[in-house]
Chains A and B, each alone.
Chain A
């Protein structure tokens, strides 16, 4: 079962800004860094953001991450059709002594 809560869906028109939230607790987001992943249909998850707000090389700067307290957010600015995918947050959980993932958010480009 997922410990981190995300909205099931989000949408926007091309060029708009979309934000996805990820709500956790003091044992996970509150005390550890957050990663964000993009998963296109039928493919493996791809790392978008690590350590709360860092982008791996090759990830467009349209993607940005932030964290405050026990919540984190992923923002996609200048939404493009190829951004249509599932997005997951993840963090280590000290109580469970394991990694936990968010429930996932499906982004639709209208």
Chain B
């Protein structure tokens, strides 16, 4: 069955960077893209961007341009999302999801930004 397993919770200081991983299994990794979505505490869902696992093409949300980088490692079927220059309002649960008519989500990774 399709599974996306994300890395563990992180605590970072303002100005630092975080890199969250998302390991996929149960399907051909390069056949689907991976999107990233975040959810601040008590808030709704925010789309961050998407990466093609086939050719590495990316499409980032405008508000995160310049601070976010999404990559994939096809040898390990793992996607990564790096967010730089962290601020307190980046505190959120970060989700990866396999893109497709039917999407599958990872369990989420809590990133806390606090001094």
Interface of A is mostly: strand
Contact across chains for B46 and A101 when beta carbons are under 8 A apart: yes
Interface size for chain B: under 10, 10 to 19, 20 to 34, or 35 or more residues? 20 to 34
Q: Give a binary string over B68-107; 1 marks a CB under 8 Å from any A CB, 0 the rest.
A: 0000000000000000000000000001000001111111
Q: B residues within 8 A CB of A37?
A: 45
| A97 beta carbon closer than 8 Å to chain B | yes
> Which of chain B's residues has its CB closest to A103's CB?
B44
Question: What's the minimum C-beta distance from A110 to chain B, rounded to whole angstroms?
Answer: 23
Q: Tell me how far the C-beta of A85 lies from the nearest C-beta in chain B, rounded to whole angstroms.
A: 13
**A100 and B44 within 8 A (CB):** no
Contacts of B107 in A (CB 8 A): 44
**Which residues of chain B have a CB within 8 Å of any CB of chain A?**
35, 37, 44-47, 49-50, 59, 61-62, 95, 101-108
Of the listed residues B46, B102, B104, B106, the one surrounded by the most CB atoms of chain A closer than 10 A to its CB is B102
Instruction: Provide the residues of chain A in CB contact with B108, threshold 8 Å.
Output: 44
Expressed in whole angstroms, the Cα–Cα distance for A41 and B65 within the complex equals 30
Complex Cα gap A103–B105 (Å): 19
16 further A-B contacts with Cβ under 8 Å, apart from A45-B95, A46-B105, A54-B101, are: A35-B103, A44-B106, A47-B102, A47-B103, A47-B105, A50-B101, A50-B102, A50-B103, A96-B62, A98-B62, A100-B47, A101-B45, A101-B46, A102-B44, A103-B44, A104-B45
